[in-house]
Structure 1
């Protein structure tokens, strides 16, 4: 009897302990069950996927006569430009690798047609789709990224963890609002090679980020990893040369088939930065040559056509440069300009990747402090140089806070004769959460003119602060500003953050901070405004998830693209000619409340169109970033440009498209 009681007691204790664990496991494993989310486990430095059972596909190629399988309509090359050449190759080449037989090729015309239409997408299908290859499923579980955490800096791990609740909310929002767009997407193999971390021993950028160093790159890489994981792609993440070599070797050993048993075999997309691209060029040249079109280059400030090829730049470097430098160390990669993915949506030639604004803990009902205060945007001493005058004006109206990480002694003014830090409460280095808490009580986020286009103004706006955006009396560019002298762009910065300048009141006031009267008016106005927290949709988790999913699924930079399969759709194109002398296509499209779409340039680059537009009797070719213009067609695919501003006598032809409000990268018909 006593033994029985002991057994019952042990059983009760065991049940009491196990049941909560079981419930916890059930909750975690089912958190991704809503909206068709998948639950996947990870190992190593990649997201490893739950193995799917090969489909039991019953194929009867004898039910189709060979003549039917090899007969194509006369216009097949319009929608499938490579179909006929691929059919010709596979008739002789299917025995070169076992993977073709694994995909049911048996030497018959119908098996060739099946493979090129159902497994790959080079030819039109014979009938309805017989099978479906692996699909990406939304997976808002952080467990997919946990193995990757061992190989990334502390800041990135902390940010991903801190924002994961917001990422999950964004995943549910995007699935509820854009369910059709977010389903039936191909599951891709994506390599993420963070090149600047491969040089961490020399550059120490990750280490500096823990003590006030630049965070923009780490922030964007963090958000990219989170996005790619949630939208369900298979990730290979490397931050050093050795692991990169291992990943590339693994894919090199695989056969030429894109799919085997429905599982993707090839590398689809390679995210890296300019340092990573240089490493690929130095150590894996053949891989880069074979996969150049799959590169997606994180490029904060963007790249213009004039700098993408070494030949054109060297021929024109004097007129493209200013007094500080005539070098182009960050350009010359020979990529399609759309392969450059940027921090802000500032150039229509490049692709906007962006980042997510940290809104963790934002409370729209929270009141600012009774007395107005300002946080100065400048976390290193050098950013405050020559700021005595605007800071002096600011001190008249508000209490000033600072987060200068390298200001060891506020009394340094005694040695450098500067009074700029007098009556300024310096908090020193603050982490993301501490910065957010400080912004919650801040009335004004005050820009000093540098850094250019950082993430902080958006974060301040998300906390209900007014950003005073420093306007430049003379726009800054590589031709007159040392910091930009070697950047591969001719952009002109009219203010510290042109994107914020476009947003305007009540969230942003753009003013010349060196004009005392204008600045006083701006500060008084900022104190009065009291805006609610605001984040543009494209900088929200849902906005970034939607954009990245669409770009990976739709944006094509490899091979021939049929007109009917172009994205954005060709039927969204509107053609305009530049009206004002010296206007770029970007400026022309913006004047129509549209965006210039560089992928449309090959379509309008035709003698017949120019003859209709300009009445040309004939046309001439030219390798110019302004072509097509007047009676001149473009002869270099690398030089199609939305942003280039031509000489006065040139009238450009510009392809434009619309876009979703607060989502510049996506047209209204792109969903």
Structure 2
């Protein structure tokens, strides 16, 4: 068989080699499967097999790339078709591996699911000892509650059976007693709450840690960014906004006591900029490529730097490996001993998978440190791996089993996630006021859309706009769509030139896509009126291809729901652009309007610094020592059947706050709010806690990852934790602002 390879032509040789390697690799996987230690569970084995398979395919892909594009590539033109064929083949294999992973998931019984990721509390080995009750925790160790730690009982049960299986457990003080298990599981692996007396020790240790000092210069950060070509766009944005950032951080320091904050060790990994991602965003960023994610990353990096934390920025897998190399050398099943090397990890969805492959089995110990930049949001039903499988929700981005608040969105999309946001860039000049007074605003209409494809089928609408304003565009010159000659195209503009053009423009015209970008807020901040496209019916993953893979059922009522809901007229006019007579009527009104520039505080430099500082200080997904926002902000509302908590809270001019679900999910607490439970039981679904007023049956949530503001049930009344909010800073309750930065 192998000898015949060398009697074929080059194309046949390479194809045959791929088949041979595949055959050999299959044998390797089989041998690997049956030679693993018996104590390794199926989920771990599955992940390792699939990861090895992916590495094999990627290695072949890289080898293929080198063979065709290497030093002798010019003399191998005949391989062009072969290269494309192999590329398609390898991509197909990777996709099949992804599908295989889902199928293997379905084959693994819930009783043997990886206990580090499982949301079931029954994570002990079969035939193990009786589950430890909460009363035993209290009587033996003084642990008053394990609310918010659903794995704790199962993990203690597992430790009781298996604590001698790894020598390192003893080195952490595990001696076979229940309290030693809790001590380990609370302070090393974060599966149980800390013992009361130990909380004081941790607080005392924090006093000795270095303090974060507010910085008044960005020179050090800019020098670091200048060393990397892929960060050029981010560097230029920071330079343009330098004076605003410095003024903002000084203003924040005057408003709050920021002197006693512990300095955090923070890793920021920009997976979307890695070459391994294949997105080529850094290469296309100056050619009209997507900017929303880079805007958010730029402002996040700037903020954590100015807030005085110890930051490391990674833009490649090699850099990530270098920063985390000490974490991956652990040979046994325990985490690295000693102080954690990181306090926070900011990452995106692409980078998250890269982090998992680098950390391997150590990943679970750093899960609670993650803050995932997620533009469109991830709802609990997609985040929860088992629930997603049960409902057969297809999405390549879900099944991460994080606490939903660990996802950081660009806008306040869903209260189940955290609203990080970004900074809206305004035009700035050294002689700002005098210079702006010289700029005259004329009847110009600037169309929102860098790609001419966005303009397709919009010509009748643009014809109406053109009757009232001179039509301008900023799209790439290389386009195939035939556009009207009356469009004045400026090409792709620099940030400075775009801001200047917006200052001269009357109307910023939406076309329906892109969805929820930063540009409309920039236009409004520069004094434009935004013509926002209304969607009827709303766009969602059921009727719009763009959203089909997104891990959310959220419905978009318009191109920019935030601008529609939180800003509105006179700055934002939302209209169905297919209704041409209505469009014309609105344009008559708009052209007679005179509006001043407007920018919500939460999208200013100071607003983002304020919000991020509170998140860093107060959001704790590891030890969870306190509820934040404070429980005093809780307003309990009861939804009608088929009504979500998002809806019932909004109706009361409030916001659903998922952090309060832990507090409400008890019969005793429900009775305090006049909800009488004659009987109760625990289940796992999105609409819990809930109750039936007819028979006074209360249903409590058994799976904390499924706490959801968005869920509803056609028969049961949801019990909803709402809170008020600060206009212009919706991430905070009104009572949060006075003491939110006190330590």
Give the TM bin, normalised by the shorter chain: 0.7 to 0.9
Per-residue deviation, 1:547: 0.7
Q: Distance in 1 between matches of 2:200 and 2:644?
A: 39
Cα distance 1:388–1:243, how it changes in 2: closer, same or farther (>3 A)?
Answer: same
Per-residue deviation, 1:202: 2.5
Cα distance 1:501–1:96, how it changes in 2: closer, same or farther (>3 A)?
Answer: same
Q: Distance in 1 between matches of 2:370 and 2:240?
A: 29
Cα distance 1:650–1:79, how it changes in 2: closer, same or farther (>3 A)?
Answer: closer
Retained in 2: the 8 A contact 1:251–1:267? no
- Match for residue 556 of structure 2? 493
Per-residue deviation, 1:668: 2.4
Structure 1 position 220 matched with structure 2 position 284: no
Per mean C-alpha deviation after superposition, the further-off stretch among 439-448 and 143-152 is 143-152
Per-residue deviation, 1:166: 0.8
Deviation digits for residues 423-448 of structure 1, max 9, x if unmatched? 01011111211111110100000001
- Match for residue 147 of structure 1? 224
Per-residue deviation, 1:128: 9.0
Q: In the comparison of the two structures, how many residue pairs are matched? A: 549
Cα distance 1:268–1:78, how it changes in 2: closer, same or farther (>3 A)?
Answer: same
Per-residue deviation, 1:353: 0.9
- Out of 390, 400, 405, the residue aligned to residue 338 of structure 1 is 405
Q: Distance in 2 between matches of 1:75 and 1:329?
A: 43
- Out of 167, 173, 186, the residue aligned to residue 262 of structure 2 is 186
- Match for residue 459 of structure 2? 388
Local SS of the residue matching 2:200: coil
Matches within 5 A, 1:111-122: 122=198
Q: Distance in 1 between matches of 2:391 and 2:327?
A: 40
Taking CA–CA contacts closer than 8 Å with sequence separation of 6 or more, which of the two structures ends up with the larger relative contact order? 1
Local SS of the residue matching 2:581: helix
Matches within 5 A, 1:99-110: none
Structure 1 position 441 matched with structure 2 position 504: yes
- Match for residue 568 of structure 1? 629
Q: Which runs of 5+ in 1 are unaligned?
A: 1-71, 98-111, 113-119, 259-264, 321-326
- Match for residue 666 of structure 2? 606
- Match for residue 17 of structure 2? none
Structure 1 position 303 matched with structure 2 position 378: yes
Retained in 2: the 8 A contact 1:166–1:360? no
Matches within 5 A, 1:75-474: 77=143, 96=171, 122-124=198-200, 132-145=208-221, 146-151=223-228, 152-177=230-255, 179-180=256-257, 182-199=258-275, 202-250=278-326, 256-258=337-339, 266-317=341-392, 327-361=394-428, 366=437, 369=440, 371-408=442-479, 418=482, 420-474=483-537
Q: Distance in 2 between matches of 1:554 and 1:200?
A: 34
Cα distance 1:121–1:396, how it changes in 2: closer, same or farther (>3 A)?
Answer: farther
Per-residue deviation, 1:406: 4.2
What is the TM-score of this pair, normalised by structure 1?
0.76
- Match for residue 724 of structure 2? 658
Cα distance 1:76–1:590, how it changes in 2: closer, same or farther (>3 A)?
Answer: farther
Q: Which runs of 5+ in 2 are unaligned?
A: 1-137, 150-154, 157-162, 173-186, 188-195, 330-334, 692-697
- Match for residue 545 of structure 1? 609
Per-residue deviation, 1:74: 12
Deviation digits for residues 50-102 of structure 1, max 9, x if unmatched? xxxxxxxxxxxxxxxxxxxxxx99997459999xx99xx9xx999959xxxxx
Per-residue deviation, 1:273: 0.7
- Match for residue 686 of structure 2? 625
Q: Distance in 2 between matches of 1:556 and 1:129?
A: 17
- Match for residue 643 of structure 2? 583
- RMSD of Structure 2 on Structure 1 (CA): 3.3
Matches within 5 A, 1:21-40: none
- Match for residue 480 of structure 1? 543
Q: Distance in 2 between matches of 1:127 and 1:514?
A: 60
Q: Distance in 2 between matches of 1:78 and 1:144?
A: 47
Q: Distance in 2 between matches of 1:497 and 1:530?
A: 22
Per mean C-alpha deviation after superposition, the further-off stretch among 355-364 and 515-524 is 355-364
Retained in 2: the 8 A contact 1:302–1:488? yes
Cα distance 1:489–1:440, how it changes in 2: closer, same or farther (>3 A)?
Answer: same
Cα distance 1:368–1:400, how it changes in 2: closer, same or farther (>3 A)?
Answer: farther
Local SS of the residue matching 2:395: coil
Structure 1 position 615 matched with structure 2 position 676: yes
- Match for residue 655 of structure 2? 595
Q: Distance in 2 between matches of 1:482 and 1:649?
A: 32
Q: Distance in 2 between matches of 1:570 and 1:167?
A: 33
Q: Distance in 2 between matches of 1:192 and 1:650?
A: 43
Per-residue deviation, 1:309: 1.8
Q: Distance in 2 between matches of 1:256 and 1:532?
A: 57
Deviation digits for residues 535-591 of structure 1, max 9, x if unmatched? 1111000000111111011101113x34xx221111221111114x42211121222
Local SS of the residue matching 1:588: helix
Structure 1 position 507 matched with structure 2 position 571: yes
Q: Distance in 2 between matches of 1:519 and 1:126?
A: 61
